[in-house]
Structure 1
Amino acid sequence: MKANRNRWLIALSAIMIHLSIGSVYAYSVYQNPLNESVGWEISAVSLAFTTAIFFLGMSAAFLGKFVERNGPKRSAMISATLFGIGTLGAGFGVQLESLPVFIAFYGVIGGIGLGIGYISPVSTLVKWFPDRRGLATGMAVMGFGAGALITSPVAEWLMGVISIPTTFYVLGISYIILMVSGASYLAPPPEGWKPAGMRDRENKNKPKAKAEEGRDLAQLYARESLKTLRFYLLWIMMFINISAGIMLLSVASNMTQTITGAGSATAATVVGVMGFFNGFGRIGWASASDYIGRTNTYMIFFILQLGAFILLPLTTNVILFSILLYIIMTCYGGGFACLPAYIGDLFGTKQLGAIHGYILTAWAMAGIAGPMLISVTFERTNNFTAAFVLFIFLLALALVISIVMRSNIKRIQRQERSSQNLVANQK
């Protein structure tokens, strides 16, 4: 079937949306200016970010079916409205010097916009790129990671030349324009559509990119996915992968200085470069997963991170320490990027957006658990050793779970082949 859209422009539209909502990762740029100009404590200012991430995960979970019912275009338009209003309202809260207003707009309204915007393009992209699921979703989610790299210097510059409230107003309007532009082109492909190259390969019986042993395990509705073991295995894998990454992101500067003895300027540089590897991991690992399989990719994540977490507390050389951090960051970003394609492999694309939302509750929980675990253990022991031991155990557990996932997938495939053989013999 022919499509009336260019799938690469669909991908660009998704990137435009994710670049905008990805600005949430640049939130730290507002902390000191708000503390100095309005007098809000850093911990109070940080509460808005924590609230936004929590509502991102929760809205993605509970509004996934809403996105499926209303389609990617309308859902992305709603996301643009909510995220834009949240950013504009944050400026209004600063102008009023009201922290509750600031948190309500940026954290709650903006957070809901984040969740809808994060999942809106995903199922559409997976359907447009059945031959390169990982690459397609990796491009979009890389946009989410790159949003901070763009917003951070822009917001810093704007706050230097205009007021903080006006900065939020300018950014809010910019996000609305960018997201509405991207949303206006989003549309699903015709039912059963496949790109010409993929049809040619199938007709000639040539090998294709390895999604998850060749094809989807099943085509399930969201409620049906909740009855499967592999849903909960994937949830735990994501929770641990995200917790490990967010834990490091929350204390990277302090940890670098404490363990390696580096100065604050050096630590700041190390932290700044982490954003690049976060984004690089998203497109790199997602693209690789099309060929090595998603389960293999997550197993590699946990093996690499397990080794890195064992070595980090023993590494006093700042260069080697940085390399280990960057390896973990590629796995952190890659986990997000591979997730939508993995969901398609395991559950099909029938209600991918809704299932994606359910899995993203792991992000909401990890956003609280990761920073909390590291802060509590550091306060009680005055070092990071206990936290590393805890995460070494969790990553080992995640590796075991990924092995169980592989076994579960192979068992389902064997059952399916047996059923097909039985039907064939009966005929």
Structure 2
Amino acid sequence: MNKNRWLIALSAIAIHLSIGAAYAYSVYKMPIAEQMGWSDSKITIAFTIMMGLAGFAAALFGNFVEKQGPRRSAMLAAVLFGLGQAGAGVAILVDSVVLYWLTYGLLSGLGMGIGYIAPVSTLVKWFPDRRGLATGMAVLGFGAGSLITAPVAVSLMSAVGISNTYFILGASYFTFMMLGALYIAPPPRDYTVAGMEAVVAKGSKKTTADLAQLSAREAVKTKRFWMLWTMHLVSVTAGIMMISVASPMAQEIAGLSVAGAATMVGIMGLFNGGGRLIWAAASDYLGRANVFILFFAAEVVIFFLLPMTTNTIIFQLFIFLVVSFYGGGFSNLPAFAGDMFGTKQLGAIHGYLLTTWSLGGIFGPMIVTFVKGATGSYIPVFYIFTVLAALALLVAVALRIDVTRERRGIAQKEAQQQETDAVSHA
């Protein structure tokens, strides 16, 4: 059966739109606390477990996805994520915070990690001519998940209660993920070469050769891998910190109402998803390293100014920008890895890089919860992240210099080889 790569992209978005619902988690926190009497830290643990497991699951199951294919992987993800969400509703019914951690945290986290990695690695192969755009589309739905889920969840909780909300949404996520899984498939073996040749022949796009073709084991031994890993760790930690407490932080600092904060969380999903597509597509023209440098330079300024920002519109705009950078970091990550390490084992390399997702999912909520508990304020958190963003900016600049130097070296060797060939043929 011949597949349409744009329908493959739509299938990937359907899967990621479902698992991306996790980004609306902050709208559940207050209703659960009020109804169940659970502490803020206990409720946050479920989110921390889910985010922590998601990245490690992506790394652990990277080879599984390559062997079993994206369809089976996505179907497994649909079962795990759907059960995790529905199980959370059961946990609320029986008043068990431990069950809530095991379902919403453990099962959903495993489903999220597996569901994330399969569409990304598949779409990169379907779009050899637009690597940045492909990775942007692959994770667009993931970032935009809260755009739909946040207002829907708030409305459902008011109408049918928290448990029924989890049941309804869990069934919906399962359905969308299964529909996506039934169509998604890898391209023919020669598709990458044929696709690239067609684009280059038209002269519509210049292509840049990858720096190397490395195995995952070889890639993790390079300094470039760990520089990219460090940059993404800071980006993820900052983004998840914002996402995990967006609603209560906006209510406390900016004075937004509950409904206003829920709307802001939904708009964050738009910037998260839009940032993934826009920044990834832009990186095809600006360069991956330059995009990361822009992210961290802007974050240094934003985190420094946020404690002094009293205007609610500007405050929200700053948050939206940080979330867009967070989303853009995720979509640029596999494209940048492909540029430096090749596509031979990109799925596994991407999986290893996504351990930053797990660690950021732990560090982000942990830092903000600890600082808020110790000081009673969110303001010191911003200064901590000002320093972290500054350090990441230095690493990004160093990586750009290193990649540029390597490309020049490769170009010089190719030029010398061409001269040698010309002389030998003369």
Q: Among residues 118, 121, 133, which one is paired with 2:119 in the alignment?
A: 121
* Structure 2 residue aligned with 1:13: 11
For residues 341 and 124 of structure 1, do their structure 2 counterparts lie closer, same or farther at Cα, with a shift above 3 Å needed? same
- Summarize the alignment of residues 406-417 of structure 1 with structure 2, pairs less than 5 Å apart: 406-417=400-411
More displaced 10-residue stretch of structure 1: 78-87 or 321-330 = 321-330
* Structure 1 residue aligned with 2:292: 298
- Summarize the alignment of residues 176-255 of structure 1 with structure 2, pairs less than 5 Å apart: 176-194=174-192, 198-203=196-201, 206=203, 208=205, 214-253=208-247, 255=249
Distance in 1 (CA, whole Å) between partners of 2:387 and 2:29 is 33
Deviation, structure 1 residue 70: 1.5
Distance in 2 (CA, whole Å) between partners of 1:158 and 1:313 is 34
- Summarize the alignment of residues 264-279 of structure 1 with structure 2, pairs less than 5 Å apart: 269-279=263-273
Q: Among residues 54, 79, 85, which one is paired with 2:77 in the alignment?
A: 79
Letter in 2 for 1:103: W
Deviations 1:129-183 (A, max 9, x none): 1122222221231201221222233333333444543433332222222111111
Letter in 1 for 2:185: A
Normalised by the size of structure 1, how large is the TM-score? 0.89
Distance in 2 (CA, whole Å) between partners of 1:226 and 1:159 is 45
* Structure 1 residue aligned with 2:94: 96
Deviations 1:293-334 (A, max 9, x none): 111111111111122222222322222223222222221111
Distance in 1 (CA, whole Å) between partners of 2:306 and 2:31 is 33
Unaligned runs of 5+ in 1: none
Q: Among residues 341, 351, 355, which one is paired with 1:347 in the alignment?
A: 341
For residues 53 and 197 of structure 1, do their structure 2 counterparts lie closer, same or farther at Cα, with a shift above 3 Å needed? closer
Letter in 1 for 2:337: I
* Structure 1 residue aligned with 2:38: 40
Q: Among residues 363, 366, 371, which one is paired with 2:360 in the alignment?
A: 366
Letter in 2 for 1:313: P
For residues 269 and 160 of structure 1, do their structure 2 counterparts lie closer, same or farther at Cα, with a shift above 3 Å needed? closer
Letter in 2 for 1:71: G
Distance in 2 (CA, whole Å) between partners of 1:354 and 1:229 is 17
For residues 270 and 162 of structure 1, do their structure 2 counterparts lie closer, same or farther at Cα, with a shift above 3 Å needed? closer
Alpha carbons 1:52, 1:111 under 8 Å: kept? yes
* Structure 2 residue aligned with 1:285: 279
Distance in 2 (CA, whole Å) between partners of 1:385 and 1:147 is 28
Distance in 2 (CA, whole Å) between partners of 1:311 and 1:336 is 25
* Structure 2 residue aligned with 1:394: 388
Deviation, structure 1 residue 222: 1.4
Distance in 2 (CA, whole Å) between partners of 1:255 and 1:90 is 24
Distance in 2 (CA, whole Å) between partners of 1:190 and 1:318 is 51
Deviations 1:187-208 (A, max 9, x none): 111223149885344225x261
Distance in 2 (CA, whole Å) between partners of 1:362 and 1:133 is 21
* Structure 1 residue aligned with 2:129: 131
Identity among equivalent pairs (%): 51
Alpha carbons 1:123, 1:349 under 8 Å: kept? no
Alpha carbons 2:148, 2:266 under 8 Å: kept? no
For residues 51 and 209 of structure 1, do their structure 2 counterparts lie closer, same or farther at Cα, with a shift above 3 Å needed? farther
Alpha carbons 2:9, 2:137 under 8 Å: kept? yes
Q: Among residues 15, 26, 29, which one is paired with 1:28 in the alignment?
A: 26
Q: Among residues 315, 319, 323, which one is paired with 1:325 in the alignment?
A: 319
Letter in 1 for 2:142: F
Letter in 2 for 1:86: G
Distance in 2 (CA, whole Å) between partners of 1:326 and 1:397 is 22
Normalised by the size of structure 2, how large is the TM-score? 0.90
Q: Number of residue pairs matched?
A: 421
